[in-house]
């Protein structure tokens, strides 16, 4: 029986109402402390339409009895529009939003939500990296341990870039001369050698809290150095993006600043960032954050998001950003040493993609320390590291959707309530065939009786994503589709299978064909067959 008296689970949560507390797991399993989280009263993110000036933005804020606290650097995100944080000492958040929305220069307004960590101290329970064994990392390393040309970005509390097990894998900004007090590359940050600290607007992302250092060690801790732990992609570079401070709180606007910085570095060629680790959650939708993640996808960056630590079904109770409908997001649940869903982990058959080890995960902490923590926060960097390994293979056409599909299509199927049903196996993903042509599919000639049940013989299979969506189209001679039938999660084996359907067609001859779509979005259309309705 697992003893829970001394346990760490980092559950990132956000509130967007004056008082909110989210329920936890069953009594006796206290994973996180009970805390009331709040937005900052009278503080909002405002998106101004393209063409606004600093003066006009100040005027709009003044008309709402508010002021522009600071601009949010977002030139790589908004296509000419401007983001700013606006505050008011006299107006509530709701009243300020209403007043600002009356101005035609404003595209949208939303609360600048507070991100907060709820932490209970823990002592290590196991002094080994059982998670690396569970995901078959050693077998994956036979094919490669990552590439120094690939960068993983940790969007978190920063990283202890001097840590003995991380320092050699830190990304270095090639446009910046360390410690000269000058913004050498003219990007708005002085001495941003390893990344940025958006909470202070500085170039020093040192981690005083520990969460970001812990996730970084799992992603890309240095391997084969005789020290400490090893990360999944242990020859990969880490960019530190600090948006939460040492009291484990941060603003959405600061997360957006960090993403804009990442995209700026990627566009300039200074950092080939291929994946972002986001081991945190919000409760409610943020337009600004959604737009930023879409921009990451457009730039070819995968966004790994923690599913949450509340034992909830995310299909019914969305967790942000894991629940955003973005092709580049991989939503990650946590499993334990028994390959079961961790007792605290959120899940969702439609909205949570796969699982990774998240219980008693040993990793790095600031000051050359190590400890075992647990949470979907700890599961997510396993997946981010796996994305880095896949990116290092440099396969032709490897979009975020294809990488996601390869990971989901090669899971160990445990029957978990997740979209893939299973826990990640990085070796199977790395060793998966390079054929990216999409699923094979087919349909054979058949007969049916009008108004009764008919039977058709179908085939669908994908070597990278064994679970596919199959759609049977039945059209008349003019090509107009008269009936469409859809099945989920067939094709685990390459064979023909029979299915019954209610025939709603008049007598006559019809054309049939099948389209099959895998987790990566690859779609194949079969040859046409004939359906004769009696």
Determine the CATH number of domain 43-112.
3.30.70
| Spatial separation of the C-alpha atoms in residues 474 and 429, rounded to whole Å | 36
pLDDT by residue (tens digit) across 371-423? 999 999 999 999 999 999 999 998 877 889 889 888 988 899 899 999 888 99
Confirm if 342 and 7 have CB atoms less than 8 A apart.
Answer: no
Question: Considering 377, 465, 520, 526, which one is annotated as catalytic?
Answer: 377
What average pLDDT is seen over the chain?
83
CB 322 within 8 A of CB 281: yes
What integer pLDDT is reported at residue 491 of this predicted model? 41
Q: How confident is the model at residue 253 (pLDDT cuts 50, 70, 90)?
A: very high
CATH no., domain 145-431: 3.40.50.200
Which residue in 146, 127, 270, 134 sits closest to 219, CA to CA?
Answer: 146
> How is the chain split into domains, by residue range?
43-112, 145-431, 440-533
Catalytic choice (122, 154, 156, 353): 156
Query: Where is pLDDT greater, at 410 or 272?
Result: 272
Residue 377 bears catalytic tag: yes
Euclidean distance between CA atoms 364 and 463, whole angstroms: 37
Average the pLDDT over 235-239 and give the result: 97
Whether the Cβ atoms of residue 494 and residue 440 lie closer than 8 Å to each other: yes
CATH no. for 440-533: 2.60.40.10
Q: What's this model's pTM, rounded to 2 decimal places? A: 0.75
Q: Is 214 assigned a catalytic role? A: no
- Whether 85 and 225 have beta carbons less than 8 Å apart is answered as no
| Tokens linked to 363 | 């990793």
State how far the Cα of 400 lies from the Cα of 391, in Å rounded to an integer.
Answer: 9
Q: Tell me: cis bond preceding 321? Omega within 30 of 0 counts.
A: yes
Catalytic one of 122, 204, 211, 425: 211
Please check the confidence at residue 26 and state whether its pLDDT lies above 60. Answer: no
Domain 43-112 shares a fold with domain 440-533 = no
pLDDT, residue 433, reads 67
Half-sphere CA count of 358, side-chain side, radius 13 A:
33
pLDDT band at 453 (very low <50, low <70, confident <90, very high): confident
Beta bridge partner(s), residue 422:
413
DSSP labels, 203-220 = S----SSSHHHHHHHHHH
Q: How many CB atoms lie within 10 A of CB 139?
A: 15
Q: Distance between alpha carbon 232 and the CA centroid of its chain, in Å? A: 17
Query: Any catalytic annotation for residue 211?
Result: yes
Mean pLDDT (whole number) for 301-312: 95
- In sequence order, the β-bridge partners of residue 12 are 117
| Confidence bin at 138 (pLDDT 50/70/90) | confident
The pLDDT of residue 7: 29
Confidence of residue 254 (pLDDT cuts 50, 70, 90): very high
* pLDDT at 457 (0 to 100): 85
Of 179-193, 291-305, 425-439, the least confident: 425-439
Instruction: Write down the pLDDT at residue 519.
Output: 63
Give mean pLDDT, residues 496-507: 85
Residue 335 has pLDDT above 50, yes or no: yes
Spatial neighbors of 220 by CB under 8 A, at least 6 apart, are: 146, 152, 166, 169, 231, 232, 233, 234, 236, 237, 238, 385, 388
Question: What confidence tier does 526 reach under pLDDT thresholds 50, 70, 90?
Answer: confident
Distance (Å, whole) CA 501 – CA 488: 15
Give the Cα separation of 205 and 117 in Å (integer): 18
Least confident window among 40-54, 148-162, 318-332: 40-54
Question: Which pLDDT belongs to residue 218?
Answer: 96
Least confident of 2-11, 336-345, 463-472, 517-526: 2-11
């Amino acid at each position: 029986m697992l003893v829970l008296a001394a346990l760490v689970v980092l559950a990132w949560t956000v509130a967007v109402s004056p008082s909110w507390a989210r329920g936890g797991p069953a009594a006796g399993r206290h994973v996180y402390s009970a805390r009331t989280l709040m937005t900052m009263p009278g503080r909002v993110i405002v998106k101004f339409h393209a063409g606004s000036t600093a003066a006009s933005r100040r005027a709009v804020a003044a008309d709402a009895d508010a002021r522009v606290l600071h601009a949010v650097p977002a030139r790589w995100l908004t296509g000419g529009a401007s983001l700013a944080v606006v505050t008011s000492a006299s107006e509530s958040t709701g009243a300020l939003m209403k007043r600002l929305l009356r101005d035609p220069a404003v595209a949208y307004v939303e609360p600048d939500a507070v991100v907060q960590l709820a932490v209970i101290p823990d002592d290590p329970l196991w002094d080994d990296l059982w998670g690396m064994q569970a995901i078959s990392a050693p077998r994956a390393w036979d094919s490669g341990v990552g590439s120094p040309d690939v960068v993983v970005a940790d969007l978190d509390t920063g990283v202890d870039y001097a840590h003995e097990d991380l320092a050699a894998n830190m990304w270095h900004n090639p446009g910046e001369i360390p410690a000269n007090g000058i913004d050498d590359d003219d990007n708005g940050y002085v001495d941003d050698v390893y990344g940025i600290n958006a909470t202070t607007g500085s170039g020093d992302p040192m981690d005083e809290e520990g969460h970001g250092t812990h996730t970084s060690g799992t992603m890309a801790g240095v391997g084969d150095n005789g020290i400490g732990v090893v990360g999944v992609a242990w020859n990969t570079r880490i960019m530190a993006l600090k948006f939460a401070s040492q009291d484990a709180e941060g603003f959405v606007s600061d997360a957006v600043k960090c993403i804009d910085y990442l995209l700026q570095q990627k566009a300039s060629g200074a950092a080939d960032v291929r994946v972002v680790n986001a081991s945190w959650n919000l409760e409610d939708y943020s337009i600004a954050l959604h737009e930023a993640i879409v921009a990451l996808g457009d730039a070819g960056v995968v966004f790994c998001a923690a599913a949450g630590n509340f034992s909830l079904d995310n299909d019914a109770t969305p967790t942000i950003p894991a629940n955003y409908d973005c092709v580049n997001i991989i939503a990650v649940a946590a499993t334990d040493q028994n390959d079961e869903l961790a007792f605290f982990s959120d899940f969702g058959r439609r909205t949570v993609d796969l699982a990774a080890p998240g219980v008693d995960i040993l990793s790095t902490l600031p000051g050359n320390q190590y400890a075992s923590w647990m949470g979907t926060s700890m599961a997510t960097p396993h997946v981010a590291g796996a994305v880095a390994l896949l990116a290092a293979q440099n396969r032709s056409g490897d979009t975020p959707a294809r990488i996601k599909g390869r990971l989901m299509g090669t899971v160990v199927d445990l029957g978990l309530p997740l979209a893939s049903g299973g826990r990640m196996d990085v070796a199977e993903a790395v060793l998966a065939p390079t054929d990216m042509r999409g699923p094979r599919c087919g349909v054979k000639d058949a007969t049916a009786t009008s108004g009764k049940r008919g039977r058709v013989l179908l085939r669908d299979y994908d070597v990278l994503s064994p679970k596919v969506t199959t759609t049977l189209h039945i059209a008349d001679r003019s090509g107009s589709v008269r009936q469409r039938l859809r099945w989920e999660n067939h094709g685990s084996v390459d064979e023909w299978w029979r299915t019954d359907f209610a025939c709603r067609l008049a007598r006559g001859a019809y054309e049939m064909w099948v389209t099959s779509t895998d987790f990566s979005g690859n779609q194949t259309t079969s040859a046409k067959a004939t359906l004769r309705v009696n």
